[in-house]
Amino acid sequence: MKKPDVKVVLLGDMNVGKTSLLHRYTERKFKDTISTVGGAFFLKQWGPYNISIWDTAGREQFHGLGSMYCRGASAVILTYDVTNWQSLAELEERFLSLTDTANHDCIYALVGNKADLTDLKAQLPLDLSGASPASLSGTGLHKQVPREEAMALYERILRYKGLDEKSSLPAEKMCFETSAKTGYNVDTLFETLFDLVLPSILRKRNENLVSPTVDLEEYREASARRGKTCC
Amino acid sequence: MSVKAFELVPAVERELLMGEKARINIECIECCGKHLYVGTNDCIIHHFLLEEVTSSKGKLSYLAQKLLHKYLGLKKPVAELRAASALERLIVLCDGVVFLVDMVTLETVPSAAGGGAKIRNVTGFCINENPVNGDPFCVEMGVLTSKRRTVQIYMIYEDRVQLVKEVSTPEQPCALSLDGYFLCLALATQYMILNYNTGSFQDLFPYNSEERRPIVKRIGREEFLLAAPGGLGMFANAEGVSQRAPVNWSERVICAAVCFPYVVALDESFITIHSMLDQQLKQTLSFRDGHILQDFEGKMILASTKAVYVLVPLPLERQIQDLLAGQRVEEALTLTEGAQRNIPKDRFQILHKRILQQVGFIQFGQLQFSEAREHFRKGQLDVRELISLYPLLLPASSSFTRCHPPLHEFADLNQLAQGDQEKVLHCKKFLIRYLEEVRSTEVVNGCREDVDTALLKLYAEQHHESLMELLTSDNSCLLADKLPAICCSSVHLLCLGKIENCQDLLLERATLHGKLEEHDKALQILVHELKDFQSAESFCLWASSCQDSTYRQKLFHLLLSVYLDGNHCGRSNAGGSGGEYDMAAVDLLNRHGEVFDAAQVLRILPESWSLQLLCPFLNRAVRASMHACRMSQIGLGLAHSENLQLLHDRLEERKKNIVVSEKKGCHLCHNTFSQPDVVCLPGPVPVHAHCVARRVRDSPTKRLLANSSNHT
């Protein structure tokens, strides 16, 4: 089994679409999913790195397992449903405390899923400007969570974590609206996060280098470099 | 989706353990090599020798021999048994007291002889399988006592038992496991990991131990398996991190263990087996009164309240082949790749390659070409395995034979496509693309001629534009074969018009007619225009090479009639004499006598021919006819004797007695018989009538029948 270099965790209330988001990203498909039991994870090869993405169960029954899944996480995707205001509130009430076990430099993203139900532009997989709205079916449901609300929650999360707003990633960048059904913004979400956690991977690798295990390859390179500076 | 990963084999039957006594229950087991110890609720330790027996058919069974039993004199159940084999002692928990007994005599070891002080008020204990003390004659033990909120660590030496640590816990502990310095504990409302050396601890997750009995099972170095809310089996390492996704058990699981790559769990009625690789349920075995499941040095032992069983894993290769037979390629690959760390590297590589190739062929059969190509490439397939599926593509000179056991179940492309010409065409196009890809790589080292020739033939047949490109570039095509190499003449398919009137290309024209199944015209050219009787014969052999014997007979009769017609009509534009054709006809008959229908030949032969002339032909014809007659007589005789044998067997089976008693178990459900009416399966194997009924009802064929009857 490949050892993951870094961990990303999907959190959020039941039925917001965590499994579907992961499925859309890994399988490029949208299909009916059943309620996740316990949790599942997927190993993503990102360049030379292995990223494990944990899909957690939103059901109350499995709530207690959340802290364990978050332990040592480099990124947490807090997911809500844009058509359900309560799902955003739950993030703050129930799920935020689970992330206490994550790494101190953990990155947080707020993701409003099911955007295809409320936004015309999300009915196409990519933000295609110029596509005629007439060709799209009407938006049936009322959007309950404006993006500004999610951004405000993001700011509160930073405060909860005791992080400085100025030196942290801006809410503008870390609040996404996605659709697992159409694929809208899904790749952007995961790829943005992977790029952001890379420094965390590199740091972890460096920590491992000073571990008592001697890496002969690394040693040879280091001594070669030293050789140059000496002569 | 199920796979047969394990088999349940009886080890110690009820009779051997408790005979007719109804109130005796198994409380605990311990297995150490061939020695099996069973503790019962009447305060007795039973000692068995467990021999593994493999039948000539490869079926595994266990033979238990009772060595000894010993009453401990406390009138309480034997709650736990653990072997300290280096010390040749058994650690026993009975009536809240931990003490040592001799592994052979089962006598209590007196303190004076190193039996050590007894540990009192014990509610449970565990052995450290990853000990921190380097002394091989020291056993480390974690102990739960009735003393509130503490765990004690003891070292058991040959001559003393020593308390080395006492750690307090935030709540009352009720189950524990130990690995190195890490204590994994089930407390009243949660699980936690506690390092008893540093005192640091890590909460895992909440769990209500009053609702469900917790499970804390060490499954490997610093990794534990825990029963979680909602019937989950959760994994946790010493850092408090889950590195594997949980498995979904039933709510009532009482014991669990790992036999890589499977998690085995036991509840009161079933054994469930999940894969740690994809978390899916793979097998369910019915098991009544399930009580204990433990792994001892890789051996999985189960006990109901009355009997002991071994859960024997089936060889991994067989599991993988079973999955492939069910076309479950993803699971087969996952299982193969998951087994990497359990198989020596060189053996793994051979296995992995083979599985990749087999998967490739399954996908090829489903016309999933891009997936198939990827697996052929990764599995470094000998391309000729693929080429050989296409009839006549490999040159006659090729030394290739398919590998054994076969990589797939297809005889050839025609069988695979079952007459669907569109499928055949798709497959051919795929092969062209695949050969184009691999022909310049090292995969084709040693068979470059075969690959290029096959590609050339495919190009010619498909009128492919790359044909000339291949011929004019550096290639290893075999153009030397005369008639059988269809590719040479097929080249001219491209300029069909030109060839029709071209007198220099008679041979090619003949081949072309042959390819179009116009054998008549082809033979006319070969016989009358080219006068190449040798080639005419070769033509018949080639054109019928992939056909049945009647087809070949038809061609030879056709050639014979061309010879005879040529003679009688005197049709000879190149001055061939009638005698020449006669001789050719006689030669043909004498050389290939066995192909002809002799009766038909005799009817058309000229009256004037002498018997002597045809002597070799007639000899062969009579011989062949005799041979056929005798062969069928032999066949008849064999069938007759087989029939008699079966009749005999049937009578024998009918005469046999079957003993059914209350002590005997049904082979289907493992329960005993309570009524005299049983059903007897061949063997003879007595089983419950309702078990057979259920089995018949649940069997796939029956279900199929039921479905089909619904439709009618």
In sequence order, what DSSP letters do the residues of B178-231 get, joined into one string? Answer: EETTEEEEEESSEEEEEETTT--EEEEEE--TTTS---EEEEETTEEEEEETTT
For chain B, what percent of residues have pLDDT higher than 70? Answer: 91
> Do B603 and B640 have their domain in common?
yes
Please, are residues B401 and B457 in contact by the beta-carbon 8 Å criterion? no
Tokens of B660: 């059914």
Q: Which of A10, A3, A8 is nearest to A50 (CA)?
A: A3
> Do B585 and B692 have their domain in common?
no
pLDDT, tens digit, for every residue of B607-656? 888 888 888 888 888 888 899 899 999 999 999 999 999 999 888 877 77
**Which residue is closest to B334 within chain A, CA to CA?**
A1
Return residues 275-314 of B near A (CB < 8 Å).
279
Domain end: B607, B632, B655, which one?
Answer: B655
CATH number (domain holding residue B702): 3.30.40
Residue B141: Cβ-neighbour burial (10 angstroms; 0-12, 13-18, 19+): buried
Do the domain assignments include residue A217?
A: yes
pLDDT, tens digit, for every residue of B341-365? 778 889 899 999 999 999 999 999 9
What pLDDT was estimated at residue A216?
47
Binary contact (A65, B279; C-beta < 8 A)? no
Do the domain assignments include residue A47?
A: yes
pLDDT, tens digit, for every residue of B275-326? 988 888 999 999 999 999 999 988 999 999 999 999 999 888 888 998 898 8
- Across the interface, which of B228, B239, B341 has its CB nearest the CB of A38? B228
Do the domain assignments include residue A1?
A: no
Give the Cα separation of B151 and B194 in Å (integer): 10
In the structure, what pLDDT confidence band is assigned to residue B504 with cuts at 50, 70 and 90?
A: low
Q: Which of B136, B175, B143, B184 is nearest to B162 (CA)?
A: B143
Task: Output the DSSP codes for B20-56.
Answer: T-TT--EEEEEEETTEEEEEETTSEEEEEEEEEEE-T
Do the domain assignments include residue B538?
A: yes
Do the domain assignments include residue B223?
A: no
**Which residue is closest to A2 within chain B, CA to CA?**
B338
Binary contact (B203, A67; C-beta < 8 A)? yes
* Cβ-Cβ contacts under 8 Å, A39 against chain B: 242, 245-246
Please, are residues B126 and B139 in contact by the beta-carbon 8 Å criterion? no
CATH number (domain holding residue A196): 3.40.50.300
**Which residue is closest to B192 within chain A, CA to CA?**
A68
Binary contact (A72, B242; C-beta < 8 A)? no
> Do B679 and B641 have their domain in common?
no
> What integer is the mean pLDDT of A50-61?
92
Do the domain assignments include residue B619?
A: yes
| B229 Cβ under 8 Å from any chain A Cβ | yes
* Min Cα–Cα distance to chain A from B89, Å: 38
> Do B522 and B642 have their domain in common?
yes
pLDDT, tens digit, for every residue of B150-170? 999 999 988 888 899 999 999
Q: Could you give the strand order of the β-sheet that contains B270-275, starting from the edge strand earlier in sequence?
A: B255-259, B262-266, B270-275, B281-286
> Do B645 and B593 have their domain in common?
yes
* Cβ-Cβ contacts under 8 Å, B338 against chain A: 1
What pLDDT was estimated at residue A222?
44
Tokens of B350: 């051979």
What pLDDT was estimated at residue B649?
87
> Which residue range forms the structural domain that includes residue B677?
656-712
* Min Cα–Cα distance to chain B from A42, Å: 9
Binary contact (B338, A68; C-beta < 8 A)? no
> What integer is the mean pLDDT of A43-59?
91
What pLDDT was estimated at residue B339?
83
* Min Cα–Cα distance to chain A from B181, Å: 20
Alpha helices in B592-688 (DSSP H): 598-604, 615-655
* Min Cα–Cα distance to chain A from B246, Å: 6
Do the domain assignments include residue B42?
A: no
| B242 Cβ under 8 Å from any chain A Cβ | yes
B593 CB-near residues (< 8 Å, 6+ apart): B616, B617, B618, B619, B620, B621, B624
> What integer is the mean pLDDT of A172-193?
95
Do the domain assignments include residue B206?
A: no
Binary contact (B245, A38; C-beta < 8 A)? yes
> Do B614 and B536 have their domain in common?
yes
* Min Cα–Cα distance to chain B from A1, Å: 7
Chain A positions touching chain B (beta carbons under 8 Å): 1, 37-41, 54, 59, 61-62, 64-65, 67-69, 71-72, 101
| B232 Cβ under 8 Å from any chain A Cβ | yes
Computed from CA positions of residues B346, B347, B350, B353, in that sequence, does the dihedral angle turn out positive or negative? negative
- Return the number of CB contacts < 8 Å for A and B: 56
Return residues 335-354 of B near A (CB < 8 Å).
338, 341
* Min Cα–Cα distance to chain A from B358, Å: 23
Binary contact (B205, A71; C-beta < 8 A)? no
* Cβ-Cβ contacts under 8 Å, B229 against chain A: 61-62, 64-65
In the structure, what pLDDT confidence band is assigned to residue A126 with cuts at 50, 70 and 90?
A: low
What pLDDT was estimated at residue B495?
47
Binary contact (A64, B229; C-beta < 8 A)? yes
What pLDDT was estimated at residue B479?
59
* Cβ-Cβ contacts under 8 Å, B246 against chain A: 37-39, 65
Kindly tell me if the per-residue pLDDT of B556 is higher than 70.
Answer: yes
What pLDDT was estimated at residue B167?
94
In the structure, what pLDDT confidence band is assigned to residue B677 with cuts at 50, 70 and 90?
A: confident
Tokens of B50: 């467990």
- Report the mean per-residue pLDDT for chain A: 84
Domain end: B615, B637, B655, which one?
Answer: B655
pLDDT, tens digit, for every residue of A65-122? 999 999 999 999 999 999 999 999 999 999 999 999 999 889 999 999 999 999 888 8
> Do B647 and B697 have their domain in common?
no
Give the Cα separation of B523 and B538 in Å (integer): 11
Kindly tell me if the per-residue pLDDT of B577 is higher than 60.
Answer: no
* Min Cα–Cα distance to chain A from B240, Å: 7
- Across the interface, which of B229, B236, B248 has its CB nearest the CB of A68? B236
Domain end: B615, B631, B655, which one?
Answer: B655
Largest CA distance in chain A: 73
What pLDDT was estimated at residue B456?
83
> Which residue range forms the structural domain that includes residue A150?
6-230
> Do B706 and B644 have their domain in common?
no
> Do B681 and B632 have their domain in common?
no
> Do B617 and B561 have their domain in common?
yes
What pLDDT was estimated at residue A95?
95
Is the pLDDT higher at B389 or at B490? B389
* Cβ-Cβ contacts under 8 Å, B248 against chain A: 37-38
Whether omega before B261 lies within 30 degrees of 0, making that bond cis, reads yes
Lowest mean pLDDT among A124-128, B595-599, B647-651: A124-128
What pLDDT was estimated at residue B701?
58
- Across the interface, which of B230, B242, B341 has its CB nearest the CB of A68? B242
> What integer is the mean pLDDT of B436-456?
84
**Which residue is closest to B189 within chain A, CA to CA?**
A64
* Min Cα–Cα distance to chain B from A218, Å: 25
Is the pLDDT higher at B475 or at B145? B145
In the structure, what pLDDT confidence band is assigned to residue A221 with cuts at 50, 70 and 90?
A: very low
pTM of the predicted model as reported, rounded to 2 decimal places: 0.67
> What integer is the mean pLDDT of B408-435?
89
Kindly tell me if the per-residue pLDDT of B191 is higher than 90.
Answer: yes
For chain B, what percent of residues have pLDDT higher than 90? Answer: 41
| B691 Cβ under 8 Å from any chain A Cβ | no
In the structure, what pLDDT confidence band is assigned to residue B494 with cuts at 50, 70 and 90?
A: low
pLDDT, tens digit, for every residue of A1-39? 567 889 999 999 999 999 999 999 999 999 888 888 889
- Report the mean per-residue pLDDT for chain B: 85
Give the Cα separation of B62 and B407 in Å (integer): 35
* Cβ-Cβ contacts under 8 Å, B241 against chain A: 68, 71-72
Residue type present at position B343: I
Work out how many domains chain B is built from and give that number. 2
The 3 state secondary structure assigned to B53-80 is EECCCCCEEEEEEEEEEEECCCCCCEEE
* Cβ-Cβ contacts under 8 Å, A101 against chain B: 240
- Across the interface, which of A1, A37, A69 has its CB nearest the CB of B242? A69
> Do B699 and B593 have their domain in common?
no
> What integer is the mean pLDDT of B578-597?
83
Phi, psi of B613 (to 5 degrees): -60, -40
Do the domain assignments include residue B642?
A: yes
> Do B638 and B522 have their domain in common?
yes
Do the domain assignments include residue B687?
A: yes
